[in-house]
Amino acid sequence: DPYSSDPERHPVLRINSHKPFNAEPPPEILTDSYITPSAVFFKRNHLPVPQVDPASYQLQVEGLPGGGVTFSLEDLKTRFPKHDVTATVQCAGNRRSEMDRVKQVKGLSWGIAAISNAKWSGARLRDVLLAAGYGPDVAQWARHVHFEGLDKDVTGAAYGASIPLNKAVSEEGDVLLAYEMNGEKIPPDHGFPVRVVVPGVVGARSVKWVGKIVVSAEESSSHWQQNDYKGFSPGTDWDTVDYKSAPAIQELPVQSAITLPADGALIDSSDGSLTVKGYAWSGGGREVVRVDVSLDGGQTWQVAELKSGDEGQAPKPPPPPGRAWAWKLWELTAPLPPQVQELEIICKAVDSSYNVQPETFAPIWNLRGVLSNAWHRVTVKITE
């Protein structure tokens, strides 16, 4: 069993698939703390977790003038400044189960918690590429940076992906070769000893257990870059889909969801008010500037309070424009509408480009169930 050396996992996780291991936390855990504890951070593996010896770990960098260069873990820790980035990682398939209700889609049936937020620390990819020979001459011809994982399928093919060169080398891109997650070495499930963190971009490009980086004129030829993680029209089906016709997903659209109360919950009306909590995030470093909440199925709206840290913490300065990599948690406490037995609660977020979430899933339905970001709705029952 290639999965026999997979690590132990936290029992609270909701498992979508055992082998490979895919799981998400119960939604209410996401809004318990601004930083998601690593043990309950959602886990999305395509293959067995590789066992990597940190002492012999080597990162190969190829495609730059002067030939290949390799870096040990020690090199990454000592030759480059350590940089911290708080960044949210979201899977392209987050909230797929809601899109599936419109019409069946293919993929793991994620709820609303295939998204989590951590503090990542490591070397900047930009600094490592510069040390390996990147320069203005390379920018003349290179367009993409590929990442290869040390996790391999039965044929020996590694997980792989690529990002645009300008994201990889920009001083404002904040792409990391992270060796710490939440102040500790990265847990095996999240890429020990080194993973790429591409803030603002779909989770699939943040390659875990990264073993090789290639600077190239072309995108990665990996299955996950070419034949997966792309969006299509609702009219496209498995007989007509042409994966070459659509671009690979990079930045994700604006997203939000309600973590509390849970769908179907019973709410005690005796204190007369209701507290609703959730998360909101947008790709490309676009900051969430507002979350609207409705307690009456979308007839009226109230603005939620946004939080970018935990209660009792000193408020953090706002991120520089275009570099809002981390989610906002939000909360709204409002009087319960009188004499109702049932409420439909809805949330929708707005980002700094005034992008909004679509009202329903049908117009954004796609055969792979990705980019699933319509208004989130939960229905609760009110009891006396």
Residues making contact with ligand MTE (CB under 6 A):
41-47, 89, 91, 149, 151, 159, 189-190, 203-204, 206-209
- The correct pick among 165, 204, 374, 378 for binding Mo ion (CB under 5 A) is 204
Query: 251 or 344, CB closer to ligand MTE?
Result: 251
Q: Which helix (H) or strand (E) holds 136?
A: helix 136-141
What the block records as the tokens of 315 is: 């408020």
DSSP letters spanning 80-121: S--EEEEEEEE-TTTTHHHHHTTS--SS----S-SEEEEEEE
Touching Mo ion, residues 259-298 (CB under 5 A): none
What residues does 185 pair with on adjacent strands?
180
Give least dist CB 208 to ligand MTE, A. 4
- The correct pick among 49, 52, 91, 248 for binding Mo ion (CB under 5 A) is 91
Residue 155 neighbours by CB under 8 Å, 6+ apart: none
What is the distance in angstroms between the CA of the first residue and the CA of the last residue of the chain? 53
Give least dist CB 340 to ligand MTE, A. 38
Give least dist CB 32 to ligand MTE, A. 18
Give least dist CB 354 to ligand MTE, A. 27
Please, what sign has the CA dihedral across residues 207, 209, 214, 220?
negative
- Is residue 186 within the footprint of Mo ion (CB under 5 A)? no
Query: 246 or 267, CB closer to Mo ion?
Result: 246
Rounded CA gap, 242 and 49, in Å?
A: 31
**Coil vs helix vs strand at 77:** helix
Rounded CA gap, 44 and 23, in Å?
A: 7
Give the count of beta carbons closer than 10 Å to the beta carbon of residue 242.
Answer: 8
**Residue sitting closest to Mo ion (CB):** 91
Give least dist CB 372 to Mo ion, A. 12
Query: 175 or 207, CB closer to Mo ion?
Result: 207
Rounded CA gap, 307 and 315, in Å?
A: 9
Binding partner at 278 among ligand MTE, Mo ion, none, C-beta below 5 to 8 Å by kind: none
Give the count of beta carbons closer than 10 Å to the beta carbon of residue 285.
Answer: 22
Query: 25 or 173, CB closer to ligand MTE?
Result: 25
Query: 96 or 348, CB closer to Mo ion?
Result: 96
Give least dist CB 332 to ligand MTE, A. 28
Residues that bind Mo ion (CB under 5 A): 44, 91, 203-204
